[in-house]
Amino acid sequence: MAAAQLFQAATMQASKISDGLAQGDFAPLRDWMHDHVHAFGASHTLDGLLQAAAGRALDPSAFLAHLRACYLDAP
């Protein structure tokens, strides 16, 4: 759930991430993760890290949206 929430926040905050991933370029996502997650190390709890990076504590909505897109909305 946390990974889905971070990925959702990353793609909403930096549009070049989706473009980069479509071209096989992980650098924009890696850079976002470095700036918003990795730079903090273990100085935050999970909820604190998610609050700082994604704007809210652990929330299943991003993961549920991912599951719906993969399994219910898929052709």
Domain boundaries, the chain: 2-72
Nearest CA-CA partner of 34 in 14, 19, 18: 14
Cβ proximity of 17 and 28 under 8 Å? yes
d(CA 19, CA 27) in angstroms, rounded, equals 11
pLDDT tens profile 22-75: 999 999 999 999 999 999 888 999 999 999 999 999 999 999 999 999 999 866
d(CA 2, CA 20) in angstroms, rounded, equals 22
pTM of structure: 0.87
Distance of CA 30 to the CA centre of its chain: 11
**What average pLDDT does range 4-14 have in this prediction?**
94
d(CA 27, CA 66) in angstroms, rounded, equals 22
